[in-house]
Chains A and B, each alone.
Chain A
Amino acid sequence: MNPYEPVIGLEIHVQLGTRTKMFCGCELTFGEPPNTRTCPVCLGLPGALPVVNARAIHFGLMTGMAVGSELAPRSVFHRKNYFYPDLPKGYQISQYDEPLCLGGRLGDVRIHRVHLEEDAAKLVHVGASGRIDSSSSSVVDFNRGGTPLVEIVTEPDLRSGEQAREWLTLLRTTLRQLGVSDVNMEEGSLRCDANISVRPEGTTELGVKTELKNMNSFRFLERGIRAEVARQIELLERGGEVVQETLHYDPRSERITSMRSKEEAHDYRYFPEPDLVPVRIEQTMLDEAHAAMPELPADRAARLEREHGLTEASAKQLAFRAELGDFFEEGLRGDGDVPAQPLANWVTGELVARIGDSDPGDSRIEPGALAALVGMLEDREVNQGGARQVLDRLVAEGGEPRAIVKSEGLGAIGGEDELSGVIDAALAANADAAAKIQGGNEKPMGAILGYVMRETKGRADGGEVTRLVREKLGV
Chain B
Amino acid sequence: MSTDPVRLTAAQAVEALGRGDLSAAELFAAYRERAAADELNAFTWVAEEAPAAQDGPLHGIPIAVKDLFCTTGVPSQSGSKILEGYRPPYTATVVENLEQAGTTLLGKTNQDEFAMGSSNENSAFGPVLNPWDRGRVPGGSSGGSAAAVAAGLAPWAIATDTGGSIRQPAALCGIVGMKPTYGAVSRYGMIAFASSLDQAGPLTRDVTDAALLLGHMVSADPRDSTSIGLPEEIALPTAQRLDGIRLGVPEELSGEAEGIEPGVMEAFERTLRVAEELGASVETMRLPHAEHGLSAYYVLAPAEASSNLARYDGVRYGLRANGHDLVSLYTRTRHDGFGPEVKRRIMLGTYALSSGYYDAYYGRAQKVRTKIADDFRAAFERFDFVVTPTAPTVAFGLGTKVHDPLAMYLNDYCTVPMSLAGTPAISIPNGLAEGLPTGFQIAGPAFSENAILEAAHALEGAIGFDGSTALSRGGMPSTPSERGAGRPAGL
Whether A73 sits at the interface, judged by CB under 8 Å, is no
Q: What residues on A are CB-neighbors of B194 within 8 Å?
A: 274
Q: What residues on A are CB-neighbors of B196 within 8 Å?
A: 274
Q: What residues on B are CB-neighbors of A51 within 8 Å?
A: 222-225
Q: Report whether A90 and B195 are in contact in the complex, using a CB–CB cutoff of 8 Å.
A: no
Q: Report whether B223 and A45 are in contact in the complex, using a CB–CB cutoff of 8 Å.
A: no
Whether A85 sits at the interface, judged by CB under 8 Å, is yes
Q: Report whether B311 and A49 are in contact in the complex, using a CB–CB cutoff of 8 Å.
A: no
The 8 A CB mask of A38-54 against B (1 = contact, 0 = none) is 00100111111111100
Which residues of B (152-169) have their CB < 8 Å from a CB of A? none
Q: What residues on A are CB-neighbors of B195 within 8 Å?
A: 274-275
Interface residues on B, range: 35 or more
Q: What residues on B are CB-neighbors of A451 within 8 Å?
A: none
Q: What residues on B are CB-neighbors of A43 within 8 Å?
A: 316
Q: What residues on B are CB-neighbors of A46 within 8 Å?
A: 70, 76, 78, 83, 86, 88, 191-192, 311, 317
Whether A302 sits at the interface, judged by CB under 8 Å, is no
Q: What residues on B are CB-neighbors of A235 within 8 Å?
A: none
Which segment of B5-13, B258-266, B354-362 sits at the interface? B354-362
Q: Report whether A271 and B315 are in contact in the complex, using a CB–CB cutoff of 8 Å.
A: no
Q: Report whether B225 and A47 are in contact in the complex, using a CB–CB cutoff of 8 Å.
A: no
- The answer for the CA separation of A140 and B310 in the assembled complex, in Å, is 18
Q: Give which listed residue, A48, A83, A277, contacts B313 with CB less than 8 A.
A: A83
Q: Give which listed residue, B78, B188, B222, B330, contacts A83 with CB less than 8 A.
A: B330
Q: Report whether A88 and B316 are in contact in the complex, using a CB–CB cutoff of 8 Å.
A: yes
- The answer for the CA separation of A85 and B333 in the assembled complex, in Å, is 14
Whether A406 sits at the interface, judged by CB under 8 Å, is no
Q: Report whether A271 and B358 are in contact in the complex, using a CB–CB cutoff of 8 Å.
A: yes
Q: Report whether A271 and B86 are in contact in the complex, using a CB–CB cutoff of 8 Å.
A: no
The 8 A CB mask of A240-271 against B (1 = contact, 0 = none) is 00000000000000000000000000010111
Q: What residues on A are CB-neighbors of B224 within 8 Å?
A: 49, 51, 275
Query: Secondary structure of the B side of the interface?
Result: loop
Q: Give the residue name and chain of the A residue nearest to B363 (CB).
A: A271
Q: What residues on B are CB-neighbors of A274 within 8 Å?
A: 194-196, 226, 304
Q: Report whether B313 and A47 are in contact in the complex, using a CB–CB cutoff of 8 Å.
A: no
Q: Give which listed residue, A81, A89, A277, contacts B225 with CB less than 8 A.
A: A277
Q: Report whether A267 and B187 are in contact in the complex, using a CB–CB cutoff of 8 Å.
A: no
Q: Give the residue name and chain of the B residue nearest to A266 (CB).
A: B355
Q: Report whether A47 and B189 are in contact in the complex, using a CB–CB cutoff of 8 Å.
A: yes
Query: Secondary structure of the A side of the interface?
Result: loop
Whether A276 sits at the interface, judged by CB under 8 Å, is yes
Q: What residues on A are CB-neighbors of B188 within 8 Å?
A: 47-49
Q: Give which listed residue, B86, B88, B187, B306, contacts A49 with CB less than 8 A.
A: B187
Whether A13 sits at the interface, judged by CB under 8 Å, is no
Q: What residues on A are CB-neighbors of B83 within 8 Å?
A: 46
Q: Give the residue name and chain of the B residue nearest to A273 (CB).
A: B195
The 8 A CB mask of B59-93 against A (1 = contact, 0 = none) is 00000000011100000101000010010111010
Whether A91 sits at the interface, judged by CB under 8 Å, is yes
Q: Report whether B92 and A90 are in contact in the complex, using a CB–CB cutoff of 8 Å.
A: no
The 8 A CB mask of A375-413 against B (1 = contact, 0 = none) is 000000000000000000000000000000000000000
- The answer for the CA separation of A274 and B188 in the assembled complex, in Å, is 13
Whether B303 sits at the interface, judged by CB under 8 Å, is yes
Q: Report whether A49 and B358 are in contact in the complex, using a CB–CB cutoff of 8 Å.
A: no
Q: What residues on A are CB-neighbors of B311 within 8 Å?
A: 44, 46, 88-90
Q: Give the residue name and chain of the B residue nearest to A267 (CB).
A: B355
Q: Report whether B189 and A48 are in contact in the complex, using a CB–CB cutoff of 8 Å.
A: yes
Whether A172 sits at the interface, judged by CB under 8 Å, is no
Q: What residues on B are CB-neighbors of A81 within 8 Å?
A: 306-307, 310, 353
Which residues of B (313-346) have their CB < 8 Å from a CB of A? 313, 315-317, 326, 330
Q: What residues on A are CB-neighbors of B70 within 8 Å?
A: 45-47
Whether A79 sits at the interface, judged by CB under 8 Å, is yes
Whether B190 sits at the interface, judged by CB under 8 Å, is yes
Q: What residues on A are CB-neighbors of B313 within 8 Å?
A: 83, 85, 90
The 8 A CB mask of B161-200 against A (1 = contact, 0 = none) is 0000000000000000000000000011111101110000
CB distance from A26 to the nearest CB of B (A): 13
Q: Report whether A40 and B222 are in contact in the complex, using a CB–CB cutoff of 8 Å.
A: no
Contact flag A47-B92 (CB < 8 Å), given A269-B350, A269-B355:
yes
- The answer for the CA separation of A49 and B223 in the assembled complex, in Å, is 7
Q: Give which listed residue, A40, A83, A85, A140, contacts B90 with CB less than 8 A.
A: A40
Q: Give the residue name and chain of the B residue nearest to A51 (CB).
A: B225
Contact flag A271-B353 (CB < 8 Å), given A49-B223, A51-B223, A277-B226:
yes
Q: What residues on A are CB-neighbors of B86 within 8 Å?
A: 46
Q: What residues on B are CB-neighbors of A275 within 8 Å?
A: 187, 192, 195, 224-226
Q: Give the residue name and chain of the A residue nearest to B315 (CB).
A: A85
Q: What residues on B are CB-neighbors of A90 within 8 Å?
A: 307, 309-311, 313
Q: What residues on A are CB-neighbors of B191 within 8 Å?
A: 46-47
- The answer for the CA separation of A146 and B188 in the assembled complex, in Å, is 18
Contact flag A91-B310 (CB < 8 Å), given A47-B70, A49-B187:
yes
- The answer for the CA separation of A379 and B70 in the assembled complex, in Å, is 80
Q: What residues on B are CB-neighbors of A40 within 8 Å?
A: 88-90
Q: Report whether A47 and B362 are in contact in the complex, using a CB–CB cutoff of 8 Å.
A: no
Q: What residues on B are CB-neighbors of A50 within 8 Å?
A: 225
CB distance from A246 to the nearest CB of B (A): 17
Which residues of A (39-72) have their CB < 8 Å from a CB of B? 40, 43-52
Q: Report whether B225 and A276 are in contact in the complex, using a CB–CB cutoff of 8 Å.
A: yes
Q: What residues on B are CB-neighbors of A140 within 8 Å?
A: 315
- The answer for the CA separation of A81 and B195 in the assembled complex, in Å, is 15
- The answer for the CA separation of A79 and B190 in the assembled complex, in Å, is 19
Q: Give the residue name and chain of the B residue nearest to A276 (CB).
A: B225
Which residues of A (76-98) have their CB < 8 Å from a CB of B? 79, 81, 83, 85, 88-91
CB distance from A214 to the nearest CB of B (A): 20
Q: Give the residue name and chain of the B residue nearest to A80 (CB).
A: B307
CB distance from B422 to the nearest CB of A (A): 12
- The answer for the CA separation of A270 and B225 in the assembled complex, in Å, is 20
Q: Give the residue name and chain of the A residue nearest to B197 (CB).
A: A274
- The answer for the CA separation of A275 and B358 in the assembled complex, in Å, is 19
Which residues of B (5-40) have their CB < 8 Å from a CB of A? none
Q: Give which listed residue, A47, A91, A269, contacts B192 with CB less than 8 A.
A: A47
Q: Report whether A267 and B225 are in contact in the complex, using a CB–CB cutoff of 8 Å.
A: no
Q: Give the residue name and chain of the B residue nearest to A43 (CB).
A: B316
Q: Give the residue name and chain of the B residue nearest to A24 (CB).
A: B223
Q: Give the residue name and chain of the A residue nearest to B362 (CB).
A: A271
Q: Which of B187, B192, B311, B330 has the most CB of A within 10 A?
A: B311
Q: Give which listed residue, B223, B226, B317, B354, contacts A269 with CB less than 8 A.
A: B354
The 8 A CB mask of A101-130 against B (1 = contact, 0 = none) is 000000000000000000000000000000
Q: Report whether A271 and B307 are in contact in the complex, using a CB–CB cutoff of 8 Å.
A: yes
Q: Give which listed residue, A45, A47, A85, A89, contacts B190 with CB less than 8 A.
A: A47
- The answer for the CA separation of A87 and B89 in the assembled complex, in Å, is 20
Q: Report whether B89 and A45 are in contact in the complex, using a CB–CB cutoff of 8 Å.
A: yes
- The answer for the CA separation of A91 and B192 in the assembled complex, in Å, is 14
Q: What residues on A are CB-neighbors of B192 within 8 Å?
A: 46-47, 275
- The answer for the CA separation of A48 and B195 in the assembled complex, in Å, is 11
- The answer for the CA separation of A83 and B333 in the assembled complex, in Å, is 13
- Residues of chain B touching chain A, judged by Cβ–Cβ distance below 8 Å, are 68-70, 76, 78, 83, 86, 88-90, 92, 187-192, 194-196, 222-226, 303-304, 306-307, 309-311, 313, 315-317, 326, 330, 350, 353-355, 358, 362
A47-B188, A49-B225, A88-B315 are known; give 20 further A-B pairs, CB within 8 A: A44-B311, A45-B70, A46-B192, A47-B70, A47-B88, A49-B223, A51-B222, A52-B225, A81-B306, A81-B307, A81-B310, A83-B330, A85-B313, A85-B315, A85-B326, A140-B315, A269-B306, A271-B304, A275-B195, A277-B226
The 5 closest A-B pairs by CB, nearest first: A90-B310, A274-B195, A269-B353, A274-B196, A46-B191
- Residues of chain A touching chain B, judged by Cβ–Cβ distance below 8 Å, are 40, 43-52, 79, 81, 83, 85, 88-91, 140, 267, 269-271, 274-277
18 contacts between A and B (CB under 8 A): A44-B316, A45-B70, A45-B88, A45-B90, A46-B78, A47-B68, A47-B191, A51-B224, A51-B225, A83-B330, A90-B309, A269-B306, A271-B353, A271-B358, A274-B196, A275-B192, A275-B225, A275-B226
